[in-house]
Amino acid sequence: MTFLAVIGRVVISFLRAAGRIGLFAVNAVKNIFLPPFYPRELFRQMMNIGYYSLPVVGLTTLFTGAALAVNIYEGSARFNAESTLPTIVVIGIVRELGPTLCGLIVAGRVSASMAAELGTMRVTEQIDALTTLSTDPFKYLIAPRILATVIMMPFMLVLVADTIGVLGGYLLATAKLGFNSGNYIKSTVDFLEAIDVMASMTKAAVFGFFISLMGCYHGFNTRGGAQGVGISTTNAVVSACIMILLSNYIVTEMFFSS
Amino acid sequence: MNNQVLKISLNGLHKRFGEKIVLDDVNLDVMPGESMVIIGGSGSGKSVTLKCILGLLTPNSGSIKIDGQEMVGIAADDRKKVLNKFGMLFQGAALFDSLPVWENVAFGLLAQRLHSRDEAKEIAIEKLRRVGLSPDVAKLSPAELSGGMQKRVGLARAIAANPEIIFFDEPTTGLDPIMSDVINELIVECVKDVGATALTITHDMSSVRKIADNVSMIYHGNMIWTGPKDKIDQSGSEYIDQFINGKAEGPIKMEILKG
C-alpha cells in the first residue's frame, strides 16, 4: 500500500508539473500575439540568443562534421563504399546532428541564462516591480524570449550549424582523405533533399520553443534566494535537454517514418 | 470615516499559505493625502498586505478597495488601470539590471505610452535631480550605483508618473543612519510634491516618526493598534511599547519563544 501511495504521489506530482508547464506555455504563446509588443526587447533577445550563440555552435558543428567524416570514411572503407561519405555526412548533419547538437548547446547557454536572469529578477522583486509599473511580465519578459528563440534557432543557428557541419566534413575529406573538391560538393548537393532541410528547421523551431519555455518557466517560478536560482537553472537545462531529445525522435518519426 | 472618500480600504483581509495563516483579519482605512505607516516584526504580514493590495498575491477572503473600487476579483485590464495610480519603492529598489538608470525611472511612463522616449528621458532626468542625483547618473547601469543611490533611483521611479498612491517597502533597510534620514526626508518631500497618499511598511522607528501621519501595528496577521503618530508613545499597548522601544522582554518575544 505504501509503495502504491509513493507511485501515486509521483504520478500526481508529475501531472501537476506538466499541467503547470502547459498553462504557462499557453499563456506565453497567447501573449506573443496580443499587444502591447516590445520590439526592442525582442531584438535584444534575438541578438543574445542568435548572434552570440554563433561562435560556440559553429565551432562545435565544425569539429563534429570533421569527426563524422573520419568515422564514416573508416567504416565505409570496410565495404569499399568510401564514395558515400559526402552523402552520409550531409544527411547525418542536416537531419540529425546539426539541429540536435545546436539544440543541446543552445539549451546549455540560453536556457540556463534565461532561468538565471528571470530567477534573479524574481528573487530581487524585479518581476513584481514590472507589475506595479503596469507591465505584464508575460508580455515583456516571456513572449519576446520565446519568439526570439523560435525565430533564431531555425533561421540562423541551425542553418549555420548545418552549413558549418557539412563544411567540416568537406574540409577533412578534401584535405586529408584525398576527395576531389568538385565531386564532394556535387555529391552533397545532389543527395540533399528539401525534406531534409525542412526537417532540420522544424526540429530547430521545436527545440527553440522548448529551450525558451523551460528557461522561462523555471526562472519565472524561482523561489528562495541564490540556491533557488541555482536549482532553477539546473532544472531548466536538464528539462530542456530531455524535451529536445524526446521531440527529436517525434519529429524524425513524423518526417521520415515509412 | 466616510467610505466614499477613503483612498485605500481593507476589510477582513485573510491570506494563508497552506496551513500558515499570514493575514487573519486585517482592517485598515487610509484617507487621501494621508501618510500611513504599518509597523510590525519580521513575518508579521506587512509585505503580504502590500502585495495583496497590488494584486501580486490574491487574498483568500476579504475586501480591498481603492477609491471605492473593489480590487479582489477585478478583471486584469481594470486592475492595470488602477495600478497606473500606484508608485512603489521596493525594499531592494528592484531596479532592472538590463536597463540604464534613466530607463528604469522612465519605465512606467514608457509602459503607459503617454510620452515619447525623448520626453520620458527628460522627465526621468528631472526626477533624478529631484532625488538629489545628477543627470550623469542617468546613463549608468544600476549595478554601478551604491545602495543609497539605488534607493534614490527607486524613489525617482516611484514618483515618475506622479502617482496618486505610493507604497514604500522598508525604505531604509540596509542603509546607514545618515542615508536613512536622507531617504526619509526625500520621501516626505516627494510625497508632498506629488500630493500622493503614502503607505509605508517598516520596522525602523526613525522612519515612522519622520514619515507617518498615522501608524498601524500588525501582529500575527491582525492590526492591533491604529492611531496618530503622536499617540504611539501613549498607545497603552504592551506590544507597541515593546516594539517601538526595541525591548527584548515583552509579550512579542515571549510568544515567539513559545512558538
Look up residue A178 and give its DSSP letter: -
B59-106 residue pLDDT tens: 999 999 999 999 999 998 888 889 899 999 999 999 999 999 999 999
Look up residue A141 and give its DSSP letter: I
Average pLDDT over residues B228-246: 90
Average pLDDT over residues A206-220: 98
Quote the ipTM score: 0.87
Q: Which residue of B has its CA nearest to A123?
A: B94
Say if residues B145 and B104 touch (Cβ distance below 8 Å).
no
Region at B198 (left for phi over 0; alpha for psi -120 to 50; beta for the rest): beta
* Alpha carbon distance A153, A247 (integer Å): 15
CA of B89 vs chain A CAs: smallest distance (Å): 9
Q: What residues of chain B lie within 8 A of the CB of A126, using their CB?
A: 94-97
Cell digits of residue B37: 505607516
Out of B84, B96, B112, whose CB is closest to A126?
B96
Range B1-85+164-171+198-259 classified under CATH 3.40.50.300: yes
Comparing C-alpha atoms, which of B68, B71, B23, B74 is closest to residue B49? B23
Placement of cell 538590463 in the chain: B98
CA of A225 vs chain B CAs: smallest distance (Å): 13
Question: A127, A132, A138, A141: best mutation site toward chain B, by most B Cβ within 10 Å?
Answer: A132
Say if residues A218 and A119 touch (Cβ distance below 8 Å).
yes
Residue-level pLDDT at B1: 47
CB atoms within 10 A of CB B254: 11
In terms of C-beta density within 10 A (0-12 exposed, 13-18 middle, 19 or more buried), how is residue A187 classed? Answer: buried
* φ, ψ dihedrals at B146, nearest 5°: -75, 170
Q: Which residue of A has its CA nearest to B95?
A: A126
A38 touches chain B (CB under 8 A): no
Whether B132 has a pLDDT exceeding 70, the answer reads yes
Comparing C-alpha atoms, which of B192, B188, B129 is closest to residue B162? B192
Whether A214 has a pLDDT exceeding 70, the answer reads yes
Interchain CB distance below 8 Å, B111 and A128: no
A124 touches chain B (CB under 8 A): yes
* Alpha carbon distance A114, A233 (integer Å): 8
Out of A36, A124, A136, whose CB is closest to B94?
A124
Out of B56, B111, B157, whose CB is closest to A135?
B111
Residue B250 pLDDT class (50, 70, 90 cuts): confident
A39-61 residue pLDDT tens: 999 999 999 999 999 999 999 99
Whether A172 has a pLDDT exceeding 80, the answer reads yes
Say if residues B203 and B8 touch (Cβ distance below 8 Å).
no
Interchain CB distance below 8 Å, B108 and A133: yes
Distances (CA, A) of A103 to A194, A238, A254, B26, B30: 21, 12, 19, 51, 54
- How big is the A-B interface in CB pairs under 8 Å? 47
B97 touches chain A (CB under 8 A): yes
Residue B259 pLDDT class (50, 70, 90 cuts): very low
CB proximity list for A132: less than 8 A, separation 6 or greater: B54, B56, B83, B86, B87, B88, B167
Residue-level pLDDT at A2: 86
CA of A123 vs chain B CAs: smallest distance (Å): 10
Q: Which residue of A has its CA nearest to B106?
A: A133
* Alpha carbon distance B18, A224 (integer Å): 17
Whether A204 has a pLDDT exceeding 60, the answer reads yes
Out of B92, B111, B157, whose CB is closest to A134?
B111
Average pLDDT over residues B180-207: 90
Residue-level pLDDT at B257: 45
In terms of C-beta density within 10 A (0-12 exposed, 13-18 middle, 19 or more buried), how is residue A124 classed? Answer: buried
Cell digits of residue B135: 543627470
CA of B30 vs chain A CAs: smallest distance (Å): 19
Whether A174 has a pLDDT exceeding 90, the answer reads yes
Average pLDDT over residues B163-181: 90
Helix axis angle, A194-220 to A226-256, nearest 10°: 160
* Alpha carbon distance A121, A113 (integer Å): 12
Residue B194 pLDDT class (50, 70, 90 cuts): confident
Whether B152 has a pLDDT exceeding 70, the answer reads yes
Q: Which residue has the higher pLDDT, B179 or A156?
A: A156
Distances (CA, A) of A224 to A124, A212, A227, A231, B73: 10, 22, 7, 10, 28
Residue B253 pLDDT class (50, 70, 90 cuts): low
Q: Which residue of B has its CA nearest to A41?
A: B98
Whether A136 has a pLDDT exceeding 90, the answer reads yes
Say if residues A27 and A138 touch (Cβ distance below 8 Å).
yes
Average pLDDT over residues B182-210: 91
Average pLDDT over residues A159-166: 97
Interchain CB distance below 8 Å, B112 and A131: no
Interchain CB distance below 8 Å, B83 and A124: no
Residue-level pLDDT at B4: 54
Domain assignments of chain B as residue spans, ordered by start: 1-85+164-171+198-259
Q: What residues of chain A lie within 8 A of the CB of B87, using their CB?
A: 132
Question: B17, B88, B169: best mutation site toward chain A, by most A Cβ within 10 Å?
Answer: B88
Whole-number percent of chain B with pLDDT over 70: 96
